[in-house]
Amino acid sequence: MKKKKISYAKYGYIFSLPFVITFCIFTLYPIIFTVILGFTDFKGLGNVTWHFLDNPFQNFEAILTAPTFKTALGNTFMIWGWNFLPQILLALLLAAIFTNVRNKVKGQGFFKVVFYMPNIITAATVAILFGALFGYPMGPMNDLFTTMGWSDAPIHFLQNKWIARGVVSFIQFWMWYGYTMIVLISGILGINPELYEAADIDGATTVQQFFYVTIPNLRTVLIYTLVTSLIGGLTMFDIPNLLVTKSGPNNATLTTSVFIYNQAFSGSYMYNRASAASIIMFVLISILSAIVFMLMQDKSEVAEKKELKRIEKEMKQAAKKGGTL
Amino acid sequence: MNKKVRRANPVVMTIIYILCIILAIMSVMPFVIMIINSTRSTTEIQQHAISLIPSTYLMKNFAVLTGKSFNPVKGFINSIIVATGATACTVYFSTLTAYALVVYKWKLRDGFFTFIMAVMMIPSQVVSIGFYQFMYKIHLTNNFLPLILPAIAAPTVVFFMRQFMLPSLHIDIINSARIDGAKEFYTFNRIVLPIMKPAIATQAIFAFVTSWNRLFEPMILLTKQELYTMPMMVSLLKGDIYKTEFGSIYLGLTLTVLPLFIVYFLLSKYIIAGVALGGVKG
């Protein structure tokens, strides 16, 4: 019987077509359009005409020299940093505790469910809820402070710029440490258990095992967590936008995403400036992600190369020995 | 063998439990205050904003809440439409794209996969101005389509589906379907989709919650109040109209969170497992 060979390759193209078309329409084209608008005089609600500027980088210069943009950028990094550091430390600690075979914590399932819960709640709701909790003069926080005798008069918490920023950081921390913990737990469970057995036989303590076995083997998961958190942090919008009105005192909680939104959708509707700011953020995020990837990966690659060389050398020496014997 | 199992230190264990309980209270407390305060009157809240005893003003708060611009039913329906549409698009087309990547051998396949990995991390907010202007031009603002259709291209979900499909889908099954005369598209819908059910269920939950919680895109695209999604309805509570109606504000917040709580406590096992699975992809 003669077998007719059919090529199914075309279906590969056909089945990935919806993805490609959608991506081109809703992501690629908007990116290009945003870049173009960054070089134009396009502003005003309902306006549809625009011209390229004589000085093509005028918008970029305007954004980069604007003090509010600098404030926004500083706030964004500050708020992200204050949330990320305690978040990753606590998540690591909890992950280490929950994966420890010796000290089995009871009710782990329950704790995981409860710690992760804030993550699925609408960020907009969380922002307004915390705004109410820290409300002035009679929010629950003020109730707690006066009942406990920590303060005589109600405090206008969110009118203090450091507290306002701190609360945004805290909310981010509170919403995300459970997620990070679960990701790290699954990372730790993926580490070869023989490594721990070997460390046990060598008499390593739990703390030593954490620093010499767990942390080095978690590298890829930690890179992933750092990069996703960084991107999320640099595009943070809902919470700083809704926690306090008008970004708080002295623009204390103004983040770059809120800045872009305000440029484009309020005041004089400066789409060109907002586009320029978006492109700046896009480039910044790409550069930072690339740096993180390179820094973290180079190290392991360098180590691998070293290890390879060492093995090669040993093999050569062994071969030599073998030769002389 | 006399392997000695080192016993847990009781002091350390006590500290661990205390830490876990404090964190659990920290997670739950804001929501407890929210739910209880939604049953209390504004005067009660002003006297003591923290209370663990519910009061009887739930219906009154509801009347005040819905008497103004906040419309929980409308917001709920709009959010259901958007989130269901986006979820269906995401899981169906991501599985289809993953299928194209796993089953067929085509020239651009590896390049396409690298491309998906590269665009996985593009945050949607940095392309929002071009997106908004484009939608404005083709008259799709105040329409749900620009909130639903982009979900067809979900790089992270494609990645997840591919990872899941590689070990669980055997080419023999597809080949035998082909011998039986099944068309490729039919094979995908009738044979591959059922095999992928567990992965689809997990990703559907996340796609739904993500879409439900989204604020930025609806905020720039929707200006008509009858189209507001739940998070946008919530942002109305921030405005001046509810300024001192504390009980109603808490009730409004509770109503927006209620569906999520129900989904979460019914499916928490799968959600936690899904987070753990998604995390190792890095």
Closest Cα to residue B203, out of B124, B118, B96, B95? B95
Residue of A nearest to B253 (CA): A125
CA-based nearest distance A312→chain B, Å: 30
CA-based nearest distance A34→chain B, Å: 4
Say which amino acid occupies A214.
T
Question: Can you give the pLDDT of all 325 residues of chain A as single tens digits?
Answer: 445 567 888 999 999 999 999 999 999 999 999 999 999 998 887 777 888 988 889 999 999 999 999 999 999 999 999 999 999 999 999 999 999 877 788 889 999 999 999 999 999 999 999 999 998 878 888 888 888 888 888 888 888 889 999 999 999 999 999 999 999 999 999 888 899 889 988 888 888 988 999 998 888 888 888 988 999 999 999 999 998 887 888 889 999 999 999 999 887 789 999 999 999 999 999 999 888 888 776 565 666 667 777 777 777 776 666 544 4
Q: Which member of A116, A118, A231 has the closest CB to residue B275?
A: A116
Distance separating alpha carbons of residues B48 and A170, to the nearest angstrom: 24
Instruction: Decide if A295 touches B, using CB distance below 8 A.
Output: no
Q: Which member of B8, B99, B108 has the closest CB to residue A103?
A: B8
Instruction: Decide if A7 touches B, using CB distance below 8 A.
Output: no
Residue A258 in contact with residue A191, Cβ under 8 Å?
Answer: no
Whether B104 sits inside 8 A of A117 (CB atoms) is no
CA-based nearest distance A305→chain B, Å: 22
CA-based nearest distance A216→chain B, Å: 15
Closest Cα to residue A100, out of B27, B16, B14, B278? B16
pLDDT by residue (tens digit) across A17-39? Answer: 999 999 999 999 999 999 999 99
Token readout for B171 is: 């080419």
CA distances from B191 to A240, B37, B49, B172, B185 (A): 46, 51, 57, 12, 10
Instruction: Decide if A13 touches B, using CB distance below 8 A.
Output: yes
Residue A289 in contact with residue A228, Cβ under 8 Å?
Answer: no
pLDDT value, residue A325: 46
pLDDT value, residue B119: 87
CA-based nearest distance A107→chain B, Å: 10
Residue of B nearest to A26 (CA): B150
Within the 186-215 window of chain A, which residues sit less than 8 Å (CB to CB) from chain B?
186-187, 190
Instruction: Decide if A268 touches B, using CB distance below 8 A.
Output: no
Say which amino acid occupies A145.
F
Whether A116 sits inside 8 A of B30 (CB atoms) is no
pLDDT by residue (tens digit) across A154-171? Answer: 888 888 889 999 999 999
Instruction: Decide if A49 touches B, using CB distance below 8 A.
Output: no
pLDDT by residue (tens digit) across A100-134? Answer: 877 788 889 999 999 999 999 999 999 999 999 99
Compute the half-sphere exposure of residue B182: CA atoms within 13 Å on the CB side of its CA: 16
Check: complex ipTM more than 0.85: yes
Q: A109-140 as b/e, with b when 16 or more CB fall inside 10 Å? A: eebbbbbbbbbbbbbbbbbbbbbbbbbeebbb
Which regions in chain B score pLDDT beneath 70? Answer: 1-8, 278-282
Q: What percent of chain B has pLDDT over 90?
A: 52
Most B CBs within 10 Å, among A3, A8, A14, A15, to test the B interface: A15
Most A CBs within 10 Å, among B94, B129, B135, to test the A interface: B129
